[in-house]
């Protein structure tokens, strides 16, 4: 789960990481009021769950409360990579002498927490990682002992020459590790980690992604969830045991299993169609799940045909077919439905489906082609 910068900064504060004062506004007037409280100069920053906000015009430096109001009115409602800005963070502007990067991830390769630091922090860190990877220093952490103080020191020595700064940075590196572990983050980073001309240090930006599997033990962080309209539907599906992601196409997909669901989308695209969604109804497919899945698909007005791709493993195909027939009898669906069933008791399933108006497909490719053809009519 992604959280906003201001929320990540709240967590940072809890762990003693220095963050500039700031508050969140949802209207230009509120932004002006906060600006008056905090005192200029300030930065007005869009709070959306994507990177590259600055380059998209979502971050503005302001010198007066009036300017803060004006900036907020421009940024609120702005579309950044498909997301509408609904909140802005008004925060004290910091004089920047030096920008570094500090980040933690759960590293899939080493299967351990990994810390990365770089003296070349700032908005182009991804380019640094691509073009000059030697400028990013990595260290794999023993999960049982955690990051040790001398290890943090060694990393900080890669960032600065001044020992006073090194000590301050090492302290932040250790604190960020504690925060990372404590909230079950999959990623936490400070970029830029700023040194001012006076030698102060600040986490000017903050990013934390939380491991979805660990949210059950962090109800306080679950409360930070900020969902867009599209995500609401996804969460609603999740509560019904379905994994759903809306896309822009017109062919609705119902599949059991995530890998097969992705492969189905890919195949539709390969044959010239556009999938309307990713939808995994799980390993077993009870009539209830099929009903819920169909309800989601028919609420998407773009959908012109529906493609069921079910592999009957432990669940028998004839059971699945009966489930689909039962589900369809409970719903009024005017959309054409193509079904591909394979696996256990495939032939019995085909017999059941041949009594219905459903269009059966012999293979995945056949099903994809048929649903594309029908959707195009």
Partner 1 sequence: MSILIDKSTKLAVQGITGRDGSFHTKKMLEYGTHVVAGVTPGKGGEQVEGVPVFNTVKEAVEQTGANTSILFVPAKFAIDAIYEAGDAGIRLIVAVSEGIPALDMVKAVAFLDEKGSNLIGPNSPGIISPGKSKVGILPGQIFKQGSIGVISRSGTLTYEIVNHLTNAELGESTCLGIGGDPIIGLKFIDCLELFSKDEQTKGVVLIGEIGGSDEEEAAIYIKENFKKPVVSFIAGLTAPPGKRMGHAGAIVSGGTGTAAEKIKAFESVGVAVAKEPEEVVKLLKEKL
CA angle 192, 58, 35 (to 5 degrees): 85
Q: Where are the alpha helices (DSSP H) in the chain?
A: 5-14, 28-38, 65-75, 125-131, 149-157, 163-182, 219-222, 229-239, 258-270, 287-298, 317-330, 346-354, 364-376
Residue among 122, 164, 156, 126 at smallest CA distance from 139: 156
Smallest distance, Å, CB 199 to partner 1?
A: 32
Of 98 and 184, which CB lies nearer to partner 1 in the complex structure?
A: 184
In the set 5, 67, 189, 234, the catalytic residue is 189
Which of helix, strand or coil describes residue 107? strand
List interacting residues with partner 1 (CB under 8 A): 49-51, 106, 108-109, 111-113, 126, 142-144, 181, 184, 186, 211-214, 216-217, 243, 245, 247, 255-263, 265-270, 275, 278, 280, 283, 311-314, 342-344, 363-365
- Which of 6, 101, 160, 177 is the catalytic position? 101
Reduce the DSSP state of residue 153 to 3 states and report it: helix
Q: How far is the CB of 143 from partner 1 (least distance, A)?
A: 5
Task: DSSP letter for 138, please.
Answer: E
CB of 98 to partner 1, least distance (A): 24
Residue nearer to partner 1 on the CB measure, 204 or 253: 253
Residue 31 or 267 having the CB closest to partner 1 = 267
145 is catalytic: no
CB of 357 to partner 1, least distance (A): 26
Q: 79, exposed or middle or buried, with CB in 10 Å at 0-12, 13-18, 19+?
A: exposed
Based on the residue annotation, tell me whether 101 is a catalytic residue of this protein: yes
Overall size of the chain counted in residues: 377
Nearest residue (CB) to partner 1, 26 versus 139: 139
Active site positions, annotated: 101, 189
């Amino acid at each position: 789960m992604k959280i906003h910068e201001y929320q990540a900064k709240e967590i940072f504060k809890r762990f003693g990481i220095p963050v500039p004062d700031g508050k969140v506004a949802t209207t230009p007037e509120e932004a002006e009021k906060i600006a008056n409280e905090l005192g200029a100069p300030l930065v007005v920053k869009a709070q959306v769950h994507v990177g590259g906000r600055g380059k998209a015009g979502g971050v503005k430096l302001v010198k007066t409360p009036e300017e803060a109001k004006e900036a907020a009115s421009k940024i609120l409602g702005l579309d950044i990579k498909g997301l509408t800005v609904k909140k802005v963070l008004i925060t004290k502007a910091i004089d920047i002498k030096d920008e570094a990067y500090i980040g933690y991830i759960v590293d899939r390769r080493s299967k351990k927490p990994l810390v990365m630091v770089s003296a070349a922090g700032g908005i182009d860190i991804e380019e640094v990682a691509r073009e000059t990877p030697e400028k990013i220093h990595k260290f794999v952490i023993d999960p049982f002992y955690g990051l040790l103080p001398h290890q943090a020191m060694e990393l900080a020595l890669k960032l600065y020459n001044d020992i006073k700064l090194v000590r301050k940075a090492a302290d932040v590196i250790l604190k960020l590790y504690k925060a990372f572990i404590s909230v079950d983050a999959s990623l936490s980073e400070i970029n830029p980690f700023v040194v001012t001309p006076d030698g102060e240090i600040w986490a000017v930006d903050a990013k934390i992604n939380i491991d979805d599997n660990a949210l059950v033990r962090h109800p306080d962080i679950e409360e930070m969830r900020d969902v867009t309209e599209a995500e609401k539907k996804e969460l609603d599906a999740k509560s019904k045991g379905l994994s759903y992601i809306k896309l822009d196409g017109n062919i609705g997909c119902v599949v059991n299993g995530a890998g097969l669901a992705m492969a189905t989308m890919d195949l539709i695209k390969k044959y010239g169609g556009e999938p309307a969604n990713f939808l995994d109804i799980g390993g077993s497919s009870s009539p209830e799940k099929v009903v819920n899945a169909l309800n989601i698909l028919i609420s998407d007005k773009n959908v012109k045909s529906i493609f069921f791709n079910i592999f009957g493993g432990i669940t028998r195909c004839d059971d699945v077919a009966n489930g689909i027939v039962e589900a369809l009898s409970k719903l009024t669906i005017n959309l054409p439905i193509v079904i591909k069933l394979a696996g256990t008791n495939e032939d019995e399933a085909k017999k059941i489906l041949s009594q219905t108006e459903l269009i059966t497909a012999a293979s995945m490719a056949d099903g994809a082609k048929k649903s594309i053809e029908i959707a195009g009519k």
